[in-house]
């Protein structure tokens, strides 16, 4: 089984890129972030024509997450992260697909830091940690994936000294990610590529992609029941070089049956 995550940076504007990638790589399950489309503007028919059933949590202009499946329609468990009834951001969606629980997320950026946006990022992270603990308590195969907007270590960022004050790399953010993984989650990419500079995001500016000046901010976290099935993980870096593409590249894992 191949599962992928992809921050599309606008599902309608990048639809040709998304459809081409789906056609060329054919993942079984896909989590998308930054749809930047209200609920009624999600391109459901185009996704169906590509061979995928989808559930999504849209929001006008910003955010938005979706889960696609080549098999059965994902059975939605929840949309929105629990813990703050006043939070209207479309940043989390969770479903069951073939006995697997999939949580797709788009964690807040948090810049500028310090400030209200950074406070929101950390509070959202705290809610994720609480929810993730409950998922683990069920002792089922679970994965959390998406754009976490955090570089966990210096290996995950080009020129780490340039990012020390950024919300994606501040000590509080990295500590929150470490607290999350310490619950028992396996960081799939880092587990299979322990010493490799592997990036998932390259800025549009300063020729970042050509210089490979990237960040690893899109992650797969696997529960103890799922981690032993991990046999492959990587980044479809070539997609970042396509015309009118996202500033992220798709990230994928392979699980044995």
pLDDT confidence of residue 225: 98
Q: Quote the CA–CA distance of 232 and 186 in Å, as a whole number.
A: 13
Share of the chain above pLDDT 70, in %: 100
Q: Quote the CA–CA distance of 77 and 103 in Å, as a whole number.
A: 9
Q: Indicate which residues carry an active-site annotation.
A: 106, 147
DSSP the chain: -EEEEEE-SSTTTTHHHHHHHHHHH--SEEEEE---S-GGGS-HHHHHHTT-EEEEE--SSS--EEEEESSSPPEEEEES-TT-TT-----EEEEEETTEEEEEEE-----SSSSHHHHHHHHHHHHHHHHHHHHHHTTS-EEEEEE-----SGGGBSSGGGSTTSTTTSHHHHHHHHHHHTTT-EEHHHHHSTT----SEE-SSTTTTTTT-EE--EEEEE-TTTGGGEEEEEE-GGGGGSTT--SB--EEEEE--
Q: What is the pLDDT of residues 99-144, one digit of tens each?
A: 999 999 999 999 999 999 999 999 999 999 999 999 999 999 999 9
pLDDT confidence of residue 106: 98
**Reported pTM:** 0.98
99: how many CB neighbours lie within 10 A of its CB? 7
Q: Quote the CA–CA distance of 42 and 193 in Å, as a whole number.
A: 35
Q: Quote the CA–CA distance of 53 and 67 in Å, as a whole number.
A: 8
pLDDT in tens, the chain (257 residues): 999 999 999 999 999 999 999 999 999 999 999 999 999 999 999 999 999 999 999 999 999 999 999 999 999 999 999 999 999 999 999 999 999 999 999 999 999 999 999 999 999 999 999 999 999 999 999 999 999 999 999 999 999 999 999 999 999 999 999 999 999 999 999 999 999 999 999 999 999 999 999 999 999 999 999 999 999 999 999 999 999 999 999 999 999 99
pLDDT confidence of residue 248: 98
């Amino acid at each position: 089984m191949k599962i992928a995550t992809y921050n599309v940076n606008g599902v309608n504007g990048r639809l040709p890129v998304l459809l081409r990638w789906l056609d060329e790589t054919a993942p079984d399950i896909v989590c998308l972030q930054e749809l930047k489309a209200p609920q009624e503007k999600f391109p459901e028919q185009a996704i169906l024509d590509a061979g995928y059933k989808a559930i999504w949590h849209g929001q006008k202009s910003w955010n938005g997450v979706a889960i696609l499946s080549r098999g059965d329609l994902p059975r939605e468990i929840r949309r929105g992260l629990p813990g703050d009834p006043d939070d209207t951001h479309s940043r989390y969606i969770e479903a069951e697909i073939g006995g697997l629980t999939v949580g797709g997320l788009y964690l807040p950026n948090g810049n500028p830091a310090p400030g209200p946006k950074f406070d929101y990022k950390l509070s959202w992270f705290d809610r994720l940690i609480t929810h993730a603990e409950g998922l683990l308590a069920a002792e089922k195969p679970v994965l959390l994936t998406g754009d976490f907007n955090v570089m966990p270590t210096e290996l995950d960022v080009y020129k780490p000294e340039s990012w020390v004050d950024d919300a994606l790399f501040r000590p509080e953010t990295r500590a929150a990610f470490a607290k999350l993984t310490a619950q028992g989650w396996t960081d799939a990419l880092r587990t299979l590529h322990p010493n490799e500079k592997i990036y998932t995001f390259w800025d549009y500016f300063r020729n970042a992609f050509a210089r490979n000046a990237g960040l690893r901010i899109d992650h797969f976290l696997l529960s103890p029941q799922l981690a032993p099935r991990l046999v492959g993980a990587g980044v479809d870096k070539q997609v970042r070089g396509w015309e009118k593409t996202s500033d992220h590249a798709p990230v994928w894992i392979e699980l044995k049956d």
